[in-house]
Structure 1
Amino acid sequence: MARVKASTEREQWSGQTGFIIAAIGSAVGLGNIWRFPGVAYENGGGAFLVPYVIALLVIGIPVLLLDYSLGHRFRGSAPTVFRRVTRRAESLGWFQVGISIVIILYYTVIIAWSLSFVWFSVRQTWGDDAATFFTRDFLRKADQPGIGFDVVPGVLWPLIGVWVVVLVVLALGVQKGLERSNIIFLPMLVVLFAALVVRALFLDGAAEGLDALFTPDWSALLHPGVWVAAVAQIFFSLSIAFGIMITYSSYLKRRSNLTSSGLVVAFSNSSFEILAGIGVFATLGFMAHQQGIEVSELQGLTGPTLSFSTFPQIISAMPGGGFFGVLFFLSLTVAGLTSLLSLLQVVSAAFQEKFGWDAKQAALRVGAVAAVVSTVLFSTTTALYVLDAFDKWANEVGVITSAVVMTILVAWRLRMLPQLRWHLNQVSSTRVGPWWQYVVGVLVPLVLGYMLVSGVWTLITEGYEGYPLWFRLVFGWGAVAFMVVFAVIMTRIRWVKNPDDFVPWPPLPSGGLTKSGDRS
């Protein structure tokens, strides 16, 4: 079959800046605000920054550049890219799309909660017991995990509203939708959260909160679990290995500075995480001061409990709490939206290329189905249990499996790392040395393989959160099974336009490459 160059009709970012803003918007999400502070606190405080920075430099950035090189060289969504790498790898791309679908289903409802709490903050609707208000009055949480049919109207309508907004943005395409929305949302997020942090630093007890976050417990560095936690945090917060950065980089122009962009995105994401830690723990210090206890005695320092139970209690106790609450929950909403849009684009782009749809068709067809499923699952009284299971298995089994398979495939089965390193160096001002191949090909699969095996073993032998076996099978392992079955089915469906009619650019040198990725 004749091989021709890729069509020039593919959508593109308006320029390097648009891509960087969108990539930062994807990386900066809910996990930066509610996950990083708690993970840091539980794993050595200030000492955690040591493995965190090492994980960023040694694992996070190299894998981010792997995603960039694949997406930019092979110009497509995750399934298209892996199909062009080798026909047998297409299913890996669809597996990554499946991960994004699972995350999208529950991520949307968290944004809907945040949006509701913006309004609740004005009048501090939660009263004297924010934790009870969140679970009993707002979510109407069932006593036991299960399959719920009781719809909660207070969750249903904001959830529908969020879906309408994101599907409209998605239908507008890359430049008019994704890029423009991120140009609005990301600066808004930075301004809102910066104002929140400044306010938090002037609260009584803020210094004690910062001491709790940054005082190093150097003995924690001797525990392997702390290093695993650092890798996990970097990995999840950078949006790598499940199709987002592959898809985003595919919309870059051919002459694009990939390595410099990667460094900007990675360090911007980590800077925001540290900023979030400062703001959150300054605020927790105030709460501990009000109660006359140590910060270490507070409960609920991470996840939904931090955002929707602990923070409302703080808002009620502080001067000007209503305004502070609006800032916090608007920040949470905006951070969630920028990440959600990137997840949706992974799915939309894959279906557009497989079936020849345009952005509007993909938004209406795929997005509408996802919206219905999300609404059915997460507007009921059992939503919090299902969300918890989806999140655990999607991230700690799905994403890590994807990363391990991807690095082994590219490094050992196909031996493509020299070509990808050469590609990065051809289009970038900052060159990548041979060390990158050893990190991606050896260190990353070893570290992530250990995380995967130990994590799966723990889930099998110890369960999770006391959930019954049937619930873990349906909503935990069932989510992973969906990813696998979805990947198999989508791979077997014929492409409307053959993705193999493609020649990567720039062409490899006629003399070939050495094992280190240099010209022969």
Structure 2
Amino acid sequence: MAQQEAGRQQWGSRLGFLMSAIGSAIGLGNIWRFPAVTYENGGGAFIVPYLCALLTAGIPLLILEYTIGRRHRASPPGALRRLRRPAEAIGWWQVAICFVIAAYYAAILAWAVRYTGFSVTKAWGDDPEGFLFGEFLHTTDDPGHISEFVPGVAWPLIAVWVVVLVILALGVRRGIEKANMVFIPLLVVFFLILVVRALTLDGAGTGLQGLFQPDWGALSDGGVWVAAYGQIFFSLSVGFGIMITYSSYLGRRSDLTGSALVAAFANSSFEILAGVAVFATLGFMAVQSGVGVGEVTDSGVGLAFVAFPQIISEMPMGALFGVLFFVSLVIAGLTSLISIVQVIVAAFEDRTGMRRVPAVLSVGGAVAVVSVLLFSNDSGLHFLDVADHFINQYGIVLAGLALVITVSWVLRRLPVLQADADATSAVGLGVWWRLCLGIVTPLVLTWMMVDSLTGEFDENYGGYSSSFLLWSGWAVAAGALVVGVLLSLVRWRHDAGTDGEPVPATGATTVETEER
């Protein structure tokens, strides 16, 4: 066991870990989800439930995952197994969730890569929506029926996977850390340029007024609070094992609470920056079209690949703006994708004893193959849409709920974990941390699940047929859980540690051995 501990990879510095944690948190959702959620849920007033969610759920969960990862020195299956053997199933469940997310997340990055080039020539012409769904994605009207391979999606998707696997193969310090030390500052610089340009557009003030003008009456709507907690939960990369994995490469004396605060507030700051850039630009579009900001507001795919191309076509120096925007999407998504795939690779490294490069090529390569096969065809958009909805709503949230209840209620490990975090952190946690994780977070996540299921049973998601949702949506969400349980029952060659005990410290906290 000591040999395994001494050979575990380490971050080169606290800054390298923070950059990587921030890179994981800052993703596509910060850019295309937060602004729309804010606008739809009270504008400036939404900041109140957002901050409450950050302080009572986001940061406590982040600290919990940091502590579990550093204390038990393993990816989610191994770390949770050291809490108690049956808890390993939750870890494998999180690994399965990461597999699904990585497969479709890479496809969106491939679209952004192509749209970087399209921005130069404004290849979408006068109909960005028709171009996206027709000429580019060749989307079929029969969801689930595959009749055509789409090379224009396949080759950038393969390129994305090559970059991700090369970075992962280089290891934690020489690959992930160095990549994020370049990508995150670059992303901030690009987005600052976008913000400055957006603020100089005609109508920018109109857009910002639409985003930040508070509707205080919205605070009495329970749905607004659900939206705030949902945004924080998805934005911080908690609930599916990323932060357990990343913190397992920390030294024994790392400041966990301080790191969590820095990562959380850096993520939230970028979300606000993204909101300014997006809504200032949408304000320009609204003024140009002679309509209200609400009529041009969109989120997700519609915002990035339909609304923004239309804006790029109409604004001065649109080509440069478009290149910066889509390159920013690629960078933000790439840092998140690397962290997601790392969870899968690390889990199989820990439990099988595979060396780094074989693990990346075999496990990461398997995700890449599934990604290319499923999302480079004319039903790729439908598969992506449904997988994203169901794995987020009924995978990540439910796995996060299971983790919190298991640690706080079943195993009652919060006092031990709090003492472990406080021993090396500048900011003590206090009773608020245990109350948040033991009461507030479980109640909120349960509320989110009930609210989502209620809407799900009232109307089929996205207007899809019940049969398509059953085998492609619900099967994905339930399948991740089943796979997690089955993998926890496998007798692995390398044991992950004894029940309830952390791996003993060996004094080798500054040693790095990049396994190959």
Q: 2:41 aligns with which of 43, 53, 62?
A: 43
- Aligned match for 2:468, one of 468, 471, 474: 471
SS at match of 2:358: helix
Match of 1:189 in 2: 187
The residue number in structure 1 matching 2:276 is 278
Query: Aligned with 1:58: secondary structure?
Result: helix
Distance change in 2, residues 1:60/1:262 (3 Å): same
TM alignment of 1:411-422, pairs within 5 A: 411-422=408-419
1:429-508 matched pairs, under 5 angstroms: 429-501=426-498, 503-504=501-502
- 2:423 match: secondary structure: helix
| Residue deviations 1:10-39 (CA, integer Å, cap 9, x gap) | 001001111000000000000000000000
AA of the residue aligned to 1:396: Q
TM-score (norm 1): 0.95
Within a 5 Å distance, the mapping from 1:117-136 to structure 2 comes to 117-136=115-134
Mapped pair 1:391 → 2:388 = yes
- Corresponding residue for 2:234? 236
Aligned counterparts of 2:30 and 2:5: Cα–Cα separation in 1: 37
1:34 to 32, 35, 40: 32
Task: Return the offset for 1:489.
Answer: 2.2
d(CA) in 2 for partners of 1:457, 1:220: 21
Match of 2:514 in 1: none
Provide the secondary structure at the position in 2 that maps to 1:293.
coil
Give how far 1:5 is off: 8.3
- Measure, in 2, the Cα distance between the counterparts of 1:266 and 1:310: 29
Letter in 1 for 2:63: L
SS of the equivalent of 1:336 reads helix
Which residue of structure 1 aligns with residue 287 of structure 2? 289
1:79 to 61, 77, 80: 77
The farther-off stretch of 145-154 and 334-343 is 145-154
**1:214-363 paired onto structure 2 within 5 Å:** 214-299=212-297, 301-363=298-360
Q: Using a 3 Å threshold, how does the CA distance of structure 1 residues 274 and 506 change in structure 2: closer, same or farther?
A: farther
| Aligned position for 1:7 | 5
1:62 maps to: 60
Cα deviation, residue 230, structure 1:
0.3
Q: Is the 8 A contact 1:6 1:501 kept in 2?
A: no
> Is the deviation greater in 55-64 or in 483-492?
483-492
What is the distance in 1 between the residues matched to 2:67 and 2:5?
19
Equivalent residue of 2:167, what SS? helix
How far is 1:505 from its partner?
6.7
Distance 1:333 1:73 in 2: 33
Q: Distance in 2 between matches of 1:404 and 1:59?
A: 11
- Pick from 121, 133, 152 the counterpart of residue 150 of structure 2: 152
CA drift at 1:145: 1.4
Q: Could you tell me how far 1:506 is from its partner in structure 2? A: 7.9
SS in 2 for 1:90: helix
Contact 2:2/2:504 (<8 A) preserved: no
Deviation at 1:380, TM superposition (A): 0.7
| Alpha carbons 1:12, 1:253 under 8 Å: kept | yes
Verify the 8 A CA contact 1:201 1:279 in the aligned structure 2: yes
User: Which deviates the most, 455-464 or 371-380?
Assistant: 455-464
Off by >6 Å, runs of 4+ in structure 1: none
Q: Is the 8 A contact 1:423 1:506 kept in 2?
A: no
Contact 1:408 1:445 in 2 (8 A): yes
Matched-pair contact (CA < 8 Å) for 1:15–1:253: no
Q: Is the 8 A contact 1:4 1:501 kept in 2?
A: no
- 2:366 aligns with one of 358, 369, 381: 369
Indicate the residue corresponding to 1:164 in structure 2: 162
Where does residue 514 of structure 1 map in the other structure?
Answer: none
Indicate the larger mover: 199-208 or 141-150. Answer: 141-150
1:288 maps to a residue whose letter is A
Q: Deviations over 1:91-143 (max 9, x none)?
A: 10000001111100100000000000000001111111111111111111111
Q: How many residues align?
A: 504
Aligned residue identity for 1:354: R
Deviation at 1:286, TM superposition (A): 0.4
Percent of aligned pairs sharing the same letter: 52
Following TM superposition, by how much is the alpha carbon of 1:458 offset from its aligned partner in structure 2, in angstroms? 2.6
- 1:6 to partner: Cα distance: 5.8
Q: Is the 8 A contact 2:296 2:307 kept in 1?
A: no
For residues 361-416 of structure 1, the C-alpha deviation after alignment (integer angstroms, 9 at most, x for no partner) is: 11111111111111111001111111111111111110111111111111111110
Greater alpha carbon shift after TM alignment, 31-40 vs 129-138: 129-138
Inter-CA distance 252–4: structure 2 relative to 1 (3 Å threshold)? closer
State the match for 2:512 in structure 1.
none
Report the counterpart of residue 425 of structure 1 in structure 2.
Answer: 422
What is aligned with 1:516? none
Q: Contact 2:62–2:260 at 8 Å: present in 1 too? A: yes
CA distance in 1, matches of 2:429, 2:30: 28
Q: For residues 357 and 458 of structure 2, what CA distance do their matches in structure 1 show?
A: 45
Quick one: which amino acid aligns to residue 468 of structure 1? S
1:483-509 superposed Cα distances (whole Å, 9 cap, x missing partner): 1221122112222222225952789xx
Deviation at 1:462, TM superposition (A): 2.1
Distance in 2 (CA, whole Å) between partners of 1:64 and 1:109 is: 27
Give, in whole Å, the separation in 2 of the partners of 1:85 and 1:258: 19
